Amino acid sequence: MNGSGTSAALAIETSGLTKRFGRQTAVDSLNLAVPHGSVFGFLGPNGSGKTTTIRVMLGLAGATSGSVRIFGQEMPAHLRSVLPRVGALIEGPAFYPFLSGAANLRRLDTADRHAPAATRRRRIAEALERVGLSHAANKKVRAYSLGMKQRLGIANALLMPRQLLVLDEPTNGLDPQGTREVRSLVRSLAGEGTTVFVSSHLLSEVEQICSHAAVMRAGQLVAQGTLDELRRVGLTHLNIQTPDANAARAVLRRLGLEPDGTAAALDGQVSTPMNRPDLLPENIAAALVADGVRIRGFVVEAGSLEDRYVELTGEGFDVVQ
């Protein structure tokens, strides 16, 4: 599972992928590289272009410019040979409310000409079993809860053995238990060699199951790589506990760091981002001690992925339109 591979080792590759709706650019020059066998987290706040990217990847919408390759084959030109190998859950599940869960799966299975009719009944039963819906197979989807529909959507993606699963917000509407089950399902599929592309706005979800991730913001890719690579780029923080907080801040400023202001900080706590890579923590400690600052605690915190994510995508509702 190498972040930098040749295109042959990539399950999905987009280059310069752009999608415009009128004057709005939903996806802007996207260069994604999803390695074979990875569990790839596609992160970004709502409205950052994740679903549009997935729609273009799967040939539902045309790209304004740029290209998409799945298994090295150009899309949507090779849609017919590529898509039977891809299972997808796109922007939530969608079913005929007047049909049962099993009848809905049968319907979608007949749409795939590569899905053998002889094994249809068995494959549907197995897919339902795998998502825990066997008991509701003959219930009309109208009577399904949101979580059950979500499971049925995942079952649809698993009707055939797939090499690539594209799951758009797979845990939406699921209770915590269901979320855990989806996670373990994704892990087991990945263990069998299936490449899983999961889009999510929930960082915790991606952090727990993914080997790789990409972060979108306002249609643009702002980061991509293995989770470790993404963490490494994140800022580390230095937290110091000292009775001489003001003196400590003065020393840190002299070193070129930007410690937090006095008002906001807790008494006896000084915190600063380590925005000077050349400055080693031990040298900072030495400088502090040399200036007579009494140190009770000195902690270098590696940047969490969450910090990195927020840093990349903006805080709270401050989402770029």
Partner 1 sequence: MLHSGAGPNTTAGSEPAGSARLEQPSAPENRRASAGWALFGSELSVLFRRLRTWAMLLALAAVPVLIAVVVRLAADEGGPGGGPPFLNQITQNGLFVALTGLVVSIPLFLPLTISVVAGDTIAGEAGHGTLRYLLTAPAGRLRLLAVKYGAAVVFCIAAALTIVVTGALIGTILFGTGPVTLLSGDTIGVGDSLVRLLLVAVYVALSLAGLAAIGLFISTLTEVPVGAMATTAVLAVVTQIVGALPQLDWLHPWLFTYHWLDFADLLRQPISWDAFGANALLQGGYIAVFCALAYSRFSTKDVLS
| Binding residues vs partner 1 (CB under 8 A) | 55, 58-62, 71, 79-81, 83-86, 88, 90-92, 94-99, 103, 106-114, 116-117, 119, 122-123, 126-127, 129-132, 151, 156, 158-163, 181-182, 184-185, 187-189, 191-194
H/E segment holding residue 226: strand 220-226
Q: How far is the CB of 291 from partner 1 (least distance, A)?
A: 57
Q: How far is the CB of 17 from partner 1 (least distance, A)?
A: 14
Tell how far CA 4 is from the center of its chain: 18
Q: How far is the CB of 132 from partner 1 (least distance, A)?
A: 4
Q: How far is the CB of 94 from partner 1 (least distance, A)?
A: 3
**Cβ–Cβ < 8 Å for 260, 270:** yes
CB nearer partner 1, residue 88 or residue 230: 88
The answer, yes or no, to whether the previous bond of 76 is cis (omega within 30 of 0) is yes
What distance in Å separates the CA atoms of residue 194 and residue 163, rounded to the nearest whole number?
Answer: 5
Question: Between helices 146-157 and 120-130, what is the axis angle to 10°?
Answer: 130
CB nearer partner 1, residue 12 or residue 270: 12
Question: Taking the C-alpha atoms of 101, 106, 109 and 114 in order, what is their torsion angle to the nearest 10 degrees?
Answer: 150
CB nearer partner 1, residue 168 or residue 244: 168
Q: How far is the CB of 186 from partner 1 (least distance, A)?
A: 9
CB nearer partner 1, residue 55 or residue 249: 55
CB nearer partner 1, residue 192 or residue 315: 192
